[in-house]
Amino acid sequence: MNIVFFYAVPALLVIGTVAFMEWFAAWSHKHIMHGWGWAWHKSHHEHHDHALEKNDLYAVVFAGFAMAMFALGHFLWWPAWWMAVGISIYAILYFFLHDGLVHQRWPFKYVPRKGYLKRVYQAHRLHHAVEGRDGCVSFGFVYAQPVDQLVHQLQLNKRGFDESALKEEDQRAT
Ligand SMILES: [Zn+2]
Ligand SMILES: [Zn+2]
C-alpha cells in the first residue's frame, strides 16, 4: 500500500472531521438546541449551582455517536475510525474551551487576557448575555467571530444584553 494513502488519507479524514464538527456544532446549537431541542439546552442558559445540567445529555449523545463510529470503523468501513478520532479531538477542544475556559467547570480560575483564547471566551460570554433562546449570537465554539461583530449583531437583533460579558474581571459565566 502506498505511503501517501497510508498517512495522508487518515490525516485528511481527521482534520476534515474536526472542521466539519465545528460547523455541525454551530449549526445544531442554533437550529436544534435553540430550536426543538431547547428543553435540554435551557438548563445551560439558567443560573444554578448543580454540578450537572440536562444539557450534558447532548455530550452523552455525541459520545455514543463517536463510539458507534469507532465500531463501524473497526468492523466494517475503516474511514469511519479516523472520523471518530476527529470527533474525539473536537470533543476535547470543546470541553477545554467551553466547559473549562468559559464556564469554569474545573477547579481553578483562568480568564484569558489576550489573543485567541480571550476572543473565544468573550464570544461565548456574549452567547449567554441575553435571556432565553431567541436573538442569541455566537453559536460556534472553536471558531469565534470578532467580538465587535457579535455586539453589532446583538444590536441588529434588537436584544439588550448584559455588558458585563465584555468585562475583563474574573466572574463566573453562566
Ligand atoms: Zn445556547
Ligand atoms: Zn455555554
pLDDT per position in the chain (174 positions), as tens? 677 778 999 999 999 999 999 999 999 999 999 999 999 999 999 988 888 999 999 999 999 999 999 999 999 999 999 999 999 999 999 999 999 999 999 888 889 999 999 999 999 999 998 888 888 899 999 998 888 899 888 888 876 777 777 776 555 544
**Grid coordinates in use for 153?**
449583531
CA of 134 to the centre of ligand 1 (A): 9
CA of 80 to the centre of ligand 1 (A): 29
CA of 98 to the centre of ligand 2 (A): 6
Per the CB < 8 A criterion, the answer to whether 86 and 14 are in contact is yes
Rounded to a whole number of angstroms, the distance between the first and last alpha carbons of the chain is 51
pTM for the whole thing?
0.87
Q: What are the domain boundaries of the chain? A: 3-166
CA of 41 to the centre of ligand 2 (A): 9
CA of 22 to the centre of ligand 2 (A): 15
CB-count exposure of residue 102 (10 Å: 0-12, 13-18, 19+): buried
